[in-house]
Structure 1
């Protein structure tokens, strides 16, 4: 048995069957939960933190029934969305899809996929309402029933999406490797998986993994954060970039007794489908042409780019910018070609979400939808 196979078996050890998990999750989100307040932990509740004005404006236009059925663990909104093709894994009632519909514009498109019929019924019910509210002549949102482990089987085409988002859903899957592999398959070259999810500080015990309520509350299926790093790279993604992290609290004595000394965070990572890179870095200069990010662009927990500032980045980040939708937003120069310049060097940011929480000294990090640089809608990087 290979070492990789041993590690995969260890990840799955103690889990009840895939079909059982899927059915239990469907029941939890389709039958047991009727509104957000029914949740028994804050694992799938948006943290109380600043949200950019343009996101709040977009959310206000989402139908109240759709919002009431929302169970995400944060807002997942990367930069440069106008004109893009976006896929939302585990879209549920469609709240994020209808919010993103406004950001991609009528020429962009948003697809939501979910396995729960009851949730999709709510999403589809209000399609016409949203298109009229947004002033669109034709719908730019559709919803597909299927499993996030089998995207092509659900009818989604390979190499067809610019961006995939996911909001507190990957943990609900019994096979995270298949989810990442499926996402990689349907992303275009240079595409991005930008997602928020729940992670543990160590591999979970069988007792936690086999508890139906903890699975439904997004804790029982949480990955040890180090396993995410390994799985992402094995599937083919670039090294994960950690954007934000938030501590999860469980104010429920029954659940606390089962959890014991395990700790959980919600964290946002960004993974890119880019070619294998050389070890050569690059000097990059952010052009400041993204609306709402004219002065600076916060890319992850370490990499912030001020307009016209010369920044030295490593080979991985240089490759991400060169091959993704950010290619036209930077000027690239070989290292050592800017004599006399005041060059800023990006430090390698932490990928450990627990470490990030400790570094910032607070349970609430800056919003995954933006930060000090974010206040306006984004312009297109996909065209």
Structure 2
């Protein structure tokens, strides 16, 4: 069985390559082992990929250049219902895509905190955060299993196709519960298993970094959230996602094993 440290190292190195490679690909997808990219077609634009995930052209045009890296399996913004003044924490924030979209929704009195364990991603996101209009956005280097955020900080946690990459999801949800305020919300896009993966897929480290081998079942997802203390747990499968999942690794029939899902939950308590 692969050690957690080996998995984290592989994921970190893979996404560092994505961050560096995309500096020179002029908005087109990359073949580096990573989530949510068509592997056999480098002529597919990142904007096209993101529109398939549910982002509008207006949203994509509103963020800084380079923030959108095409690493999505859905649009957590669509379910987050962000309000002015709220504090948002984005788990696995990458180049800052969802953070920059959240910023105008929470306004100047709100805050957006992005967490990512890849220094190259944090550097890219911080450069974009220096641009006018994003004073309420900050990025912190850290692992989502041990978040650099104080207890009872966030009104809402968002995440986009990242939790599947963690080798210790139980710890991620414990941490998420810790940093949320009472009645705080979880709004996640992620991939889940619809049936067990072949052993060869489980052993393929590139498929782990590609958001496949680390996926868990709906039942396990719900159990981990419940064990962490969450209530009002909802997992809605997006069957239409099988169309773009098929493109991630065309030679692995992934659409028969995983599907994108919208995951929501609430921390116990009242404001």
- TM class by shorter chain equals 0.7 to 0.9
Identify the residue that residue 265 of structure 2 maps to in structure 1: 271
**Helix, strand or coil at the partner of 2:29:** helix
Identify the residue that residue 27 of structure 1 maps to in structure 2: 13
Identify the residue that residue 191 of structure 1 maps to in structure 2: 184
Distance 1:120 1:42, change over 3 A: closer
Distance in 2 (CA, whole Å) between partners of 1:93 and 1:107 is 23
Distance in 2 (CA, whole Å) between partners of 1:22 and 1:120 is 16
Distance 1:171 1:183, change over 3 A: same
**Helix, strand or coil at the partner of 1:192:** strand
Give the TM-score normalised by structure 1: 0.60
Distance in 2 (CA, whole Å) between partners of 1:71 and 1:63 is 16
1:216-263 deviation per Cα after TM superposition (whole angstroms, max 9, x unaligned): 21111111111101111111101411355243333445434xx6x942
Distance in 2 (CA, whole Å) between partners of 1:221 and 1:49 is 20
Deviating above 2 A after TM superposition, structure 1's stretches of 4 or more consecutive aligned residues are 32-36, 39-52, 56-59, 202-207, 246-256
Q: Does 1:202 align with 2:181?
A: no
Distance in 2 (CA, whole Å) between partners of 1:79 and 1:208 is 36
**Helix, strand or coil at the partner of 2:212:** coil
Q: How many residues align?
A: 247
Identify the residue that residue 129 of structure 2 maps to in structure 1: 127
Identify the residue that residue 71 of structure 2 maps to in structure 1: 71
Distance in 2 (CA, whole Å) between partners of 1:80 and 1:96 is 12
Q: CA deviation at 1:43?
A: 4.0
Identify the residue that residue 43 of structure 2 maps to in structure 1: none
Q: Give the greater-gyration-radius structure (CA).
A: 1
Identify the residue that residue 37 of structure 1 maps to in structure 2: 29
Q: CA deviation at 1:202?
A: 2.7
Q: CA deviation at 1:207?
A: 2.6
**Structure 2, unaligned runs of 5 or more:** 23-27, 38-48
What does residue range 158-169 of structure 1 map to in structure 2 within 5 Å?
158-169=151-162
Identify the residue that residue 369 of structure 1 maps to in structure 2: none
Of 164, 169, 175, which residue of structure 1 is paired with 2:168? 175
1:148-185 deviation per Cα after TM superposition (whole angstroms, max 9, x unaligned): 0111xx2x101110000000000000011111111001
Q: CA deviation at 1:267?
A: 0.5
Q: Once superposed, what is the RMSD of the aligned Cα atoms?
A: 2.4
**Helix, strand or coil at the partner of 1:271:** strand
Identify the residue that residue 106 of structure 2 maps to in structure 1: 104
Looking at secondary structure, tell me which structure has more helix per residue.
2
Of 223, 234, 240, which residue of structure 2 is paired with 1:241? 234
**Structure 1, unaligned runs of 5 or more:** 1-13, 276-322, 325-383
